[in-house]
Structure 1
């Protein structure tokens, strides 16, 4: 059975931690298997009040 991943599961962590804490820790870790890790990124969250939209995909912090 797969884990349901949504913004509501991670919203409080995102609100209560700095960007450094979120990107340099396992706070947003979804799953890990040997050397492969998967982290949550809020792609499904849409801020209807946003004045600017930035779209892009980044392969990760190491690239």
Structure 2
């Protein structure tokens, strides 16, 4: 049971990283650290909700 929970948590965190990757990549070398952190902070709520947006795209409602 612990292995299943750990797998779900790992998949969730990888998904958050995948959603945040374009934001981080765009600002990594071209912006100051404060701007990078602000951009990640703005993108974080959508990144944390990635399972819902993935579900909506699978059923065709988004």
TM-score in terms of structure 2 length: 0.29
Larger radius of gyration: 2
Greater relative contact order structure (CA < 8 Å, 6+ sep): 2
Higher helix share: 2
TM-score in terms of structure 1 length: 0.28
